[in-house]
Structure 1
């Protein structure tokens, strides 16, 4: 068996994890989120500097948590894209250094494939065919996955504009809720009425893309509602709950529609927004009604982490994939078709 070290630095989290044969041995995470709060979003240069400071200590902490030493590592996997350019460069440089020093193979992997692989650490191998809904700050996509590392991934749809997580951040700012917006809106919505405001359900009309997503208009609808002044008795919590309900409704509606269209009976929801309590609850309700198995990683594996990158590296090692070339680049923008980028 080969122990794979995974390194994740695509945004504001420095993640390191160790996986062997589908089992998470240990991981560690260092976040620079607190440094970005006053800016209302991630500042790439601040994130990159935080990765430089945190990476080696995070590797040491993950090794300690896994009760391993570097000598136990048999392969290294790293997020090579997509993500913030300066942040990616830190992880890629570190991964190349570790792989060279340890004389082990190195795998450049796609960040979103890592999110899909995160579920395998909790629920075991993915079924032969499944629909994966990726919902995060920068991505909202429906994918048909047959074999995560052997067969090209089919994009069924992507968002036309704002991703769901981006919409959460922007709406939170409009409502005066703290960054990051996803957790803030989720907390506020728990004491709000999801039927208080009839916000639109984007791209759900008869002539719209059946599987497509668009959240920019919904974000604007919330902003216009707030600008006009909420109706009497409607609170910030009500607005948050109504917005969240719209997002959850659209995401789960289209995810189940994709399952029917692709004739699959398993839906996997991954990414940071998959931690949202209403999305998880509504997805479970609708999957139960449709006879579809729902798989969602535990909360801590939804957001960016090193364990998910180690998981995709572990799958590549098990599949006998050739290591990536020594001079592969960090690639800030690249679609997900294959788990291994180079």
Structure 2
């Protein structure tokens, strides 16, 4: 053929074939994938600080022990409100010009899944304590300490974020423990990890396989739709409150206040206690305690679940106060939907 003797024609034919194949094999599928997996309407792009934290997350190898995928199996209900979908990862793009997309879904779950950690644990103080020494908040944790993300100062600056570490975990440190910029960025990234609600009209994926024994997120016992719902206060407390207030109700000195012997818990009127669970609390910031998030609202707790938590706190660790009734709790929650003055109380 004459084409083989014409080097210019041969080159143009080869180049044209290459471009055509590239369009069919690479560019076309990429555009289709991009259009089919657009970010969810209510999702938000990471801020500059959160992007820095994502880089720290990658650099510190957090993916080795933590996943970011809620599977469609019943056991994953504790990690998210629904199974993950492809659109959840649409914003996970190239980190910068030189680094490719970080694959953060993970395959090992030595530690808990982090898909919804921003809603499960929205308190910066908790995350900073956990990073400095995980055993301060979770005694059984096998996670290593990330002490190099902190520094010690005798006289912190006003803008410095100090971490109130219990004395038993300070390892002889006499100064103030201050979070570095890397630590703050990492915490900002972790707090940004929240499942986005699917648009109205879109089918919500279901969790497969029946529920058995006790669901740690709701405390519901039984199997199948015919099971009678019983709300387990201990399981609900463990899922929603224990990470800060601890299993013994004693909290952490200088970080999270105790519920054992708390005036709020011992009060026969549960109004303040329920209000704090539903709306959060900042009345003890001056004492060094962090701001408590609105756990009940953030976790969509039902009145029955709030009642179970309230009564668990009232009946344990030596507390012996009057049990709250479901009717009382419902009335208090309903009243909170109307504008009211902030509650000021001390634990």
**TM-score bracket relative to the smaller structure:** under 0.3
Bigger Rg, structure 1 or 2: 2
Structure scoring higher RCO (CA < 8 A, sep ≥ 6) equals 1
Give the TM-score of the pair, scaled to structure 2. Answer: 0.25
- Going by fraction, where is strand more abundant, 1 or 2? 1
Give the TM-score of the pair, scaled to structure 1. Answer: 0.25
